[in-house]
Amino acid sequence: MQVIQQTLERPVWLDGRAVALLLAASLTTMANATISPALPGLERLFAADPNAAMLTRLLVPAPSLSVALFAPFAGLAVDRFGRRLLLLWGVILFAVAGCAGLVLPDLPSIFISRLVLGVAVALIMTAQTALVGDYFSGDRRSAMTGLQISARNFGGLVFISLAGWVAAMSPRWPFAIYGLALVFLPLMWMVIVDPPRRLQATDAKATSDAAGHPSWVVLLSLLVLLQALTNMIFFVMPTQMSFFLDAKGYDAAMMTGAILGTVMLSGGSFALIYPRVQRVTGYAGIFLIGYAAMALGFLLLLLAETTPTLFAAAASIGAGYALVSPSFVALTLNLAPLRRRGLSGGVLTASIFIGQFISPLLVTPLIARHGYGALFGATALLLAAMAIAAGAAGAAARARRRPSEG
């Protein structure tokens, strides 16, 4: 009991378990985009393959497809076999599948390894989400969900920058970056433990946190749909920005890196203040602010005539996305019963990657027919409507509380 009390009194970022989970969070951003700088080199390396152009472009989104399909099953496994086991095996599989591109002889085999990498990401993300719910509650849980988004943004910035540097030496070398997961493994092995099942069973009868919300299935379904929509909108940035900048006459490769770097820096920074903002505004308020910021960003893209405006748009979109994203995890952990946290985390994880996968399929035809202006304008209007809806929901909740308080 004394050890538990001391753990509770420490700042969350000094907790070894939190550090391990944040390192795991940084891996999930590494999964897709780390090899992006190597794609042209890989296409030249395997030029003899008649499908080289198509396969190289599928290497980046391939893990997303696996995560979307496998994450719910990973969640069931996390609930059945324990969080620790699945997290550790997920990290090991992540390193092996990620590094496989160093030695695999052709693009089809590398593509298969990328699908396996997605399975590893699903295991890591679902186990990590469940463990955040097991280890932390209240303000500490809010702090952890914000720190996760920061870890993903800052980790992505470091890994992608490193990949760009080593890709200049060889298109295969970025695959070696996935081996960094093994450096994180010893800390995870030492500090990550599953909560005692006997304790879980006792607490389940005594606490609402273990029992979950009576309507958790319906509310989680709404959260999953909203998160898929949010990620579908956000993924316009990495999938369409290079083409938009090229159409405006910029050096697309250099400017895209700078713009996406701004998104990550802004997102990582604003995610750090998420707990404070959420405490002041509540969940409805955080969605209002976040979606309003994203709407402003897309409006600035619509109106952008200068380079500073483009960077301001990127910063606004990154900040807004970083403010809303932690709330999906926090609300899911608050709603779901303890025995279903793995499944809930798996479904929530799947919704992220489903949104990412759908985004270019829906957006590319819209751009071809109506242009970037129509895309950015419609997106800004949709996000503004989402912000207004969040504000109205918050106002209605406050109005319902007033009579009971009186």
Q: Indicate the range of 43-47, 109-113, 298-302, 372-376 predicted with least confidence.
A: 43-47
Look up the pTM and report it. 0.78
Portion of the chain with pLDDT greater than 70, in percent: 88
pLDDT per residue as tens digits for the range 58-105: 787 788 888 888 888 888 888 888 888 999 999 999 999 999 999 998
pLDDT at 185 over 80: yes
Q: CB within 8 A of 19, min separation 6: which ones?
A: 13, 187, 191
Range among 10-14, 112-116, 152-156, 196-200 rated most confident:
112-116
Distance between CA atoms of residues 43 and 58, nearest Å: 11
Looking at residue 50, the DSSP 8-state letter turns out to be T
pLDDT per residue as tens digits for the range 106-160: 989 999 999 999 999 999 988 888 888 788 877 788 788 788 888 888 887 788 7
Distance between CA atoms of residues 138 and 146, nearest Å: 13
For residue 6, what pLDDT is reported? 42
Taking residues 43-61, report their average pLDDT.
81
Portion of the chain with pLDDT greater than 90, in percent: 30
Q: Please, what are the domains in the chain?
A: 7-188 (1.20.1250.20), 199-400 (1.20.1250.20)
pLDDT at 314 over 60: yes
For residue 195, what pLDDT is reported? 75
Position 197 confidence tier, pLDDT thresholds 50, 70, 90: low
Token pair, residue 222, equals 């709404």
Token pair, residue 346, equals 């798996």
Q: Which residue has the tokens 């509770």?
A: 8
For residue 214, what pLDDT is reported? 61
Separation in Å, CA 173 to CA 55, 167, 169: 18, 6, 7
Looking at residue 169, the DSSP 8-state letter turns out to be T
Nearest CA-CA partner of 181 in 13, 329, 20 = 20
pLDDT per residue as tens digits for the range 360-393: 888 888 888 999 999 999 999 999 999 999 999 8
